[in-house]
């Protein structure tokens, strides 16, 4: 098959966005052989390898500077869900953060209240979500991240924060990987939300209350609450006036080459492959 015909066939095969990953795999296989050739050939291949590097980029970010919920980078919307209310307060490392409150009463409405972000991921693969999160002592230490592929008509739980908001009044950084969720790629209707949930583990809230069974109640972020039966200390409790504060909410992904770029990448790959073939014949 002639080189031009080969490039045309490769271009046709990899025009779909999801095919970008397969393209990289095929080309990297050729490169692994071509790199064993002469220095000159290796220089060409090395330049090509650089061009294949994944172009990770921030799609949208919220820093809440200026006490606004419009993104500081990119486009998207931020909203309150489940009856929460919000103001602004000191953010992670200074600056400003989104301070939310009015969460559900104890033993009610787990997984319904928090914040929501809508972001188009069109043109991106391997979606990642990160944010800084802080809880007051009477707020829930457990949160859950849900995502939607249809603009919020339905939601799927990705995971929780492992109760990682305690000790309270401290910002913690969280990262969620959606690279295995194919529907999150190249999706103009993508959304995610961070909501408070009952503790999935049994716990003791304080020195006077009885223990709670798993998945029955909110566990306060104050370190006086304990997973040890009867181990709670102090007299504090979970309360609807507890606060969750968010900062540096970021969604990122890998930029997918446009279809017209595939042929150029494939052509460079064929140069490296041809160099390898010549070296094998020498």
Beta-carbon contacts of 98 under 8 Å, excluding residues fewer than 6 positions away, are 62, 64, 69, 78, 86, 88, 115, 245, 246, 247
Residue 140 contacts residue 218 (beta carbons within 8 Å): yes
pLDDT at 260 over 80: no
How many percent of the chain have pLDDT more than 70?
A: 72
Our CA dihedral for 62, 65, 68, 69, rounded to 10 degrees, sits at: 10
Question: Residue 99 pLDDT more than 60?
Answer: yes
Tens-digit pLDDT profile for residues 7-56: 444 444 444 555 555 555 555 555 555 555 444 445 444 544 444 455 78
180-215: pLDDT as tens digits: 999 999 999 999 999 999 999 999 999 999 999 999
pLDDT value, residue 55: 72
Q: What angle do CA 264, 265, 269 make, to 5 degrees?
A: 115
Structure tokens at 69: 């919920």
Does the pLDDT of residue 133 top 80, yes or no? yes
Q: For the segment 149-183, what is each residue's pLDDT rounded down to a tens digit?
A: 999 999 999 999 999 999 999 999 999 999 999 99
Structure tokens of 260?
Answer: 């017209």
Cβ neighbour number for residue 213 with a 10 Å cutoff: 12
Q: What percent of the chain has pLDDT over 90?
A: 71
Q: Rounding to the nearest 10 degrees, give the CA dihedral for residues 133, 136, 137, 141.
A: -30
Q: C-alpha distances in angstroms, 146 versus 8, 39, 117, 132, 184? A: 41, 50, 11, 16, 12
């Amino acid at each position: 098959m002639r080189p031009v015909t080969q490039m045309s066939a490769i271009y046709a095969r990899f025009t779909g966005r999801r095919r970008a990953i397969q393209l990289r795999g095929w080309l990297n296989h050729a490169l692994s052989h071509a790199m064993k050739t002469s220095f000159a050939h290796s220089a060409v291949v090395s330049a090509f390898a650089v061009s294949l590097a994944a172009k990770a980029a921030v799609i949208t970010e919220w820093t809440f500077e200026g006490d606004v919920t419009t993104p500081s980078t990119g486009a998207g919307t931020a909203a309150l869900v489940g009856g929460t209310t919000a103001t602004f307060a000191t953010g992670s490392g200074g600056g400003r953060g989104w301070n939310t409150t009015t969460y559900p009463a104890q033993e009610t409405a787990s997984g319904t209240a928090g914040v929501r972000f809508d972001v188009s991921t069109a043109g991106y693969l391997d979606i990642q979500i990160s944010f800084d999160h802080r809880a007051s002592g009477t707020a829930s230490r457990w949160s859950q991240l849900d995502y939607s592929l249809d603009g919020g008509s339905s939601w799927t739980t990705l995971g929780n924060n492992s109760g990682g908001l305690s000790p309270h009044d401290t910002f913690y950084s969280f990262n969620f990987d959606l690279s295995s969720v194919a529907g999150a790629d190249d999706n103009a209707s993508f959304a995610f939300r961070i909501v408070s949930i009952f503790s999935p583990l049994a716990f003791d809230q304080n020195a006077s209350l009885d223990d709670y069974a798993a998945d029955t109640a909110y566990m306060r972020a104050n370190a006086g609450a304990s997973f040890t039966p009867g181990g709670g200390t102090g007299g504090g409790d979970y309360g609807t006036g507890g606060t969750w504060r968010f900062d540096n909410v970021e969604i990122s992904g890998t930029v997918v080459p446009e279809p017209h770029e595939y042929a150029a990448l494939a052509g460079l790959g064929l140069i490296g492959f041809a160099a390898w073939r010549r070296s094998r014949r020498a």
